[in-house]
Structures are given as C-alpha cells and as structure tokens.
Amino acid sequence: MMMDVSLPQPVETVVTLAVVWIGLGVAGLAFVRAPRFITHFIFPCGALVALLLAITGLGAIGAPPSVAILPAGLPDLPFHVRVDALSGFFLMLLGGVAFGTSLFSTGYFRGMAPAALALLSLQYHVFLASMTVVLIADDAYLFMVAWEAMALASYFLVTTEHHEEQNRKAGFIYLVVAHIGALGILLCFGVLQGGRGDYTFDALRQAGLGDNWASLAFLLAFLGFGAKAGMLPLHVWLPEAHPAAPSPVSALMSGVMLKTAIYGLVRVVYDLIGNIRWEWGLLVLLVGSATALFGILFALAENDLKRLLAYSSVENIGIVLTGIGLSMVFIGSGQPVAGALGLIAALYHALNHAVYKGLLFLGAGAILKSTTLWNLNQMGGLIRYMPKTAVVFLVGVLAISALPPLNGFVSEWLTFQVSLQASQLSSSVVRSLVPIAAALLALTGALTGMCFVKVYGIAFLGQPRLSLAEAPREAGGWELAGMVWLTIGCVLLGIFPVFVIGELNAVCLSLIGSGLSAEALASGWLWLVPTAGTQASYSPLIFLLAIMVVFGVTFLGVRRLYRGRLRRAAPWDCGFPEQTLRMQDSADAFGQPIRQIFAPLYRIRRQVPRPDDAAPVFRQTVEDWHWYVLYRPIARLTTYLSDQVGKLQQGRISVYLLYSFVTLIALLVFVK
C-alpha cells in the first residue's frame, strides 16, 4: 500500500515532466540577459528531464495503462491523457534521444546572441513538451492541440536563422506540408467519430465503422501522418527544413518528430480503427518501399551533408513503413504472429533510426560548428582534427549502413525475416509482391552502405579539400557527451536486441493482442530468434566476438609476418607529378555511377564547358522531380486562381461602390 502512494503513476510523472520542460523554456525567456545561465543550467536540466522521461517510458511498457484527466482544456472538454505500452515505448525513444541532443545543445549553443538563444531555448523545450503530450494524448482534441503546438514550435526552430531568406522559405514549405498533414489527421478523427459520441480515444475505438468509412479514415490518417513522417511524395519539406534548423533541432526533428508521426499512424490504424485490412497494408508496403528507394537514391546524389541526412531519413521512414505495411498485410490476412513480428521490426527500426540519425545530425552539427562547412565536396581529412568525433560518427555510419553487430542491422534483418513469412499468405498476388518489396529493401540497404561510405570517406578521410582560415577544432566536452550517449545507444541496441524485443513484444501484446511465438521467446538472451530456431537466428554478441577474434588474429599475424619489412615512400603518381588536393575523389564523383544508372529517376542539369574554354568549369545540379511534376502545377494553379480573384481589385472606387451596390440589390431581391 505504501508503494502505491510513494510511486506516482507513469502518466502523472510524464505530465509533470512535460510541464517542467515548458517551465524551463519560459525560465530561459526570463533569463534572456544571462545566456550562460541558459546554456549552463537550462539545457542540462532539460537533459535530466529527458532522462527521467526515458526511464518512465521504459517502466510504462510493462505496466498496465494509466489514465488521467487533466484540469485543463475547455469547459466540458477536458484533456484526457493515457500512458500505455506503445506510448511508453515512444516516450523512451523521445527521452533517450532528447537526452543526447540536450547535452549536445549545452555546448553547441554557447556564443549565440542572447535574445535568439532565449527564444530558441523556449521553442526547443516547448517542442519537446508538445511531442510528449502528442504521445500521451487520449482524446483527439488534445492530440490535435499538441500536434499543432509541435508543428509551430518546430517551425520557429527551423527559422531560427530567419535572416536568411532560404531558411524562411524552408520554414514556409515545412509549415504548408505540416498543415496538409494536420488537415488529413483532423478529417480522419472526424470520420472516426462519425457524428456520435465524443472525441476521446475510447469513444473512437468503439466507433465500429463500416468498411468504406474505415478505409477512408485509414487513407486520411496515412496521408496526414505520412506528410509529417516524410512519405513520398510529401517528403519535400525534409531536405529543406533539416539543413535550415540548428543541428540539435535537426536531430530531434529527424530522430523523434518523424517518429511521433509513426506513433500516430500505429495508434490510429492499430488501436483506433482496428480491423486492419490487408489492402491497406499493401498500400503502406508499396509506398514504404518506394519511399525507401527514392530517399536513398537522392541521398547518394546529394553533397550537402545535412540534406543528405534528411534524404536518408526519408529512406529510413520508408523502411519503417515497409515493416508496418508487412505487419498490416499479415494481420489483415489472419496471421497475427507474423504481423506482430512486422510491427516489432518497424518499431525497432524507428528506435534505431532515432538513435543513429540523432547521432549523425549531431556529428554534422559538430563539423559545421568547427569548420563552417556544409558541403561534403569541401570537407576532407577531418579525422586528424576531430578524432573523437570521427570515432562516434563512424559508429553512427556503420549503424545506419546496417552492419552487424550494430543496431541498424537488427531491425533491417527482422524486416527481412518478416518478408520471408510471405509463404503464409493466401493471396498469390500479395505473396509475389512481398518478396519484391524485400528485394527493394535489400537494394536500399546496399545503396545506404555506399552512401555512407561516401559521407565518411569524403568528410573524414583523405586530405582537406579547402584550406580553412583556422584549423578545425575537436567538439567540446558537452557535445561529445551527447554524441557518446547516442553511440552507446547504437551499440547496446545492437548487442542486446533480445531485451528490446522483449519490451516490444509487450507493446504488441497490449496493442494487437498477440506477440511472438513461444519458441521465439524461449530462445534466451544470447540468441535472437524471430520465428523459430530452425529458420533463423542471430547472436550479435557472438558475431562481435568473432569479429574481434578475426581482427585480433589478423592484426597479430600481419605484425608478425611484416615485422621489420615496412618501408615508407611516396606513392606512385601515375607519371603525373602535379597533384593537388582537389584531385581527390569528391562526393559528386562518388555518386556518379548511381546517377548514371538511375538517371531517369533524377532531374539532372549539366553545364559542360566548351573544349576551347580557358577556365573550364563543369556544373551539375540534381533536383527532385516531385517539385516539377507535383508541386509546380499546384502552385501554378493557385497563382492563376488568385490572379483571377485579384482582377476584382480594380483600383477604381466607383467599381468598388458598384460591388457593394450590386450586392445590396441582390440581397434585397433575395430576401424579398
């Protein structure tokens, strides 16, 4: 009994932590004249809150759902909040990543102008708090309020450096897509509610929609959350907004905010709509595969590091959607065990992506701060100036390339394992489509490897391609602490997947009522077995040991064999004595084969110099054709329509008077 009193419910703790975050943000505004107070006190406190949130979330996964009604909101329309296993998992994700980014921010934002810093601190903490509230909202009303607060806070964060027009433009695009998405979600809730009952999630769960209405609700939710997640073709805001935002914010947006969209999709489709149909799953699967392939292809063609990471986020969201799509196909076909595995794979990948993409964005921020460079083509040799950053960045790069024993491998491997269950499906069309999606996923994985070989090789290895005024400096202690925290996450999530799977299994059990097979769960902590031991199993720890043994043996063998036979000499210059640093392989050059192979998917503009040009320059830009195929026509139509309406504005007072006169007469005739 005493325990009950002393331990608050998870939901109370989470609400308190969100309020503390908002309080920290407001406090930052109050201490606008003390920027050191903001960086040295408020951001570390925010990090502490994040850590507590992660722990609370982790604890809530196994606990029964806890609910509360907040004493806020409109009269007769109170805010309902609820923390269940799914919320707990995403709260853990949010807290874990936010801990790293807040630590990083402690160091990163030092030296910023005080007023801008205070506003940034406010928006940053409001952003975190609103994401928390999105994850615990238990009625559509609070959900939408928090969702919009999240969008607005992140909009202001994207436009932190609003003096540059490019950033304002990026913020505008982001805001437009965010609102298209919000509109979809709002309509989805409207369809779910169906004109009866109230808007609490409990009421929506029991709506019992007909097939057509349920499909409509699903499509609206998919559109709405897909826009926020960066699904094709609504991904265009990502490569604009992420480079514009300060790096810790990009890390949060890419790592966590995209995951709130995944959370929303899972919450609405699995929990609120229920009765999943396999056709929906097929749609999600196909869109997810296309998103993944497209995202990585554009990442390969990109030379702006943060834009590249943004496109890579598009790709990873594609993989998560692939997992969700597979899970929905299986659940809709009456195979809940395989469906649970798909959901586990998707959620695991969401967590992994949050951790390593957070790490990579923080690394990009560290590079940007110490070199002021954002273009890969100008970097190079950073490993000598920033050795510690180079190590943590390498871990992130290996993780995102899905190399064992790191975390990226586990979730992608699980996704493959799900697609291998396709033989259980009854429909032959779906049975043949699922392997194609898996093949696309494999291609995506290989291309990701290539993409990040490019990133790491060009940025950290080789020689500097641009002589900077002062040598780049290693990231500061706080920045490293934030990155190391996420690095540890990458390693632990990769080495001990069984524990994560156990937690995710609890999420699945509470959400769809079924989990992994008993055989899979009985495999013990060392071996990860998704379905049955006879089919597939993976032990990262043994893998790691094997790698270490092979590495050690090779290292010792080489040392022994080549002892004393080393000689240092200049490499052969191919008979061309004048070699400059600019002759190194560049990011654009590295992606050239891919651009050649997938040329129809890009919109490439080349400017080839004439043969007799004395100072030849080769220019090439790669553009996203979605702008031209989808967005330009819409923009043109909008401009045309507003031009037509604009004709009403004649400038002649007589005409304006005539408008009111005609209106008056028409109304009089009408009401007579």
User: By the criterion CB under 8 A, which residues form the site for other proteins?
Assistant: 646, 649-654, 657-658, 661, 664-665, 668, 672
- SS3 at position 622: strand
> Whole-number minimum distance, CB 635 to other proteins, in Å?
18
CB of 638 to other proteins, least distance (A): 16
Q: Which 3 state secondary structure label does DSSP give 210?
A: coil
Alpha carbon distance 319, 209 (integer Å): 30
* Smallest separation (angstroms) from other proteins to the CB of 664: 8
Q: Which is nearer to other proteins, 518 or 653 (CB)?
A: 653
The DSSP-derived string for 499-562 is HHHHHHHHHHHHHHS--S-HHHHTT-SS-B-SS-TTT--B-HHHHHHHHHHHHHHHHHHHHHHT
For 186, 188, 206, 261, 353, the CA distances from 193, given in Å and listed in that order, are 11, 9, 9, 20, 33
CB of 82 to other proteins, least distance (A): 50
Q: How far is the CB of 188 from other proteins (least distance, A)?
A: 38
Answer whether 86's CB lies under 8 Å from 267's CB: yes
The minimum distance between CB 36 and other proteins, in angstroms, equals 48
Q: Which is nearer to other proteins, 628 or 659 (CB)?
A: 659
| Cβ at position 657, least distance to other proteins in Å | 5
Q: Taking the complex as a whole, how short is the minimal distance between the CB of residue 672 and other proteins, in angstroms? A: 6
Give strand pairing partners of 603.
623
Nearer to other proteins, 563 or 672 (CB): 672
Q: What is the dihedral of CA 42, 48, 49, 51, to 10 degrees?
A: 150
CB of 661 vs other proteins, minimal distance in Å: 5
CB of 432 within 8 A of CB of 546?
no
Tokens of 528: 């990860």
CB atoms within 10 A of CB 59: 16
Give residue 310's identity as a one-letter amino acid code.
Answer: A
In the bound state with other proteins, the residue whose beta carbon lies nearer, of 606 and 672, is 672
Q: What is the closest distance, in whole angstroms, from the C-beta atom of residue 650 to other proteins in the complex?
A: 7
Residue number, 565 or 652, with CB nearest to other proteins: 652
d(CA 234, CA 181): 9
DSSP state of 631: I
Place of tokens 């990026």: 170
For residue 446, the tally of other CB atoms under 10 A from its CB is 13
Q: How far is the CB of 666 from other proteins (least distance, A)?
A: 12
Please, which residue, 553 or 662, has the CB nearer to other proteins?
662
Residue matched to tokens 């007799």: 612
Residue 429 backbone zone (phi > 0: left; psi -120 to 50: alpha; other: beta): alpha
Helices within 570-649 (DSSP H only) = 587-597, 625-626, 632-646
Burial 82-91, CB ≥16 within 10 A → b, else e? bbbbbbbbbb
Q: How far is CA 50 from CA 2, 96, 305, 606, 622, in A?
A: 27, 7, 27, 47, 39
Give, in order, the Cα–Cα distances in Å from 508 to each of 143, 410, 485: 22, 18, 27
Closest by Cα among 481, 506, 327, 493 to 410: 493
- Closest CB to other proteins among 558 and 665? 665
Question: CB under 8 Å to 662, separation ≥6 — which residues?
Answer: none
C-beta separation of 10 from 63 below 8 A:
yes
Q: Which is nearer to other proteins, 550 or 658 (CB)?
A: 658
Least separation in angstroms between CB 665 and other proteins: 7
CA distance 486 to 356: 7
Q: C-beta of 261: minimal distance to other proteins in Å?
A: 38
Using DSSP's 3-state secondary structure scheme, residue 464 falls into coil
Pick between residue 423 and residue 649 the one whose CB is nearest to other proteins. Answer: 649
Closer residue to other proteins in complex, CB, 640/661: 661
**Whose Cβ is closer to other proteins: residue 609's or residue 646's?**
646
Residue 628 vs 640, nearer CB to other proteins: 640
Of the two residues 572 and 670, which places its CB atom closer to other proteins in the complex? 670
Least CB distance from residue 452 to other proteins, whole Å?
A: 49
Shorter beta-carbon distance to other proteins: residue 426 or 663: 663
Would you say 428 or 649 has its CB closer to other proteins? 649
- Could you tell me the smallest distance in angstroms from the CB atom of residue 654 to other proteins? 5
Q: How far is the CB of 636 from other proteins (least distance, A)?
A: 17
Distance of CA 626 to the CA centre of its chain: 20
Nearest to 89 by CA among 530, 500, 400, 514: 500
Q: Distance between CA 601 and CA 626 in Å, rounded?
A: 10
Give the largest Cα separation in the chain, rounded. Answer: 109
Question: Is the Cβ of residue 555 or residue 656 nearer to other proteins in the bound state?
Answer: 656
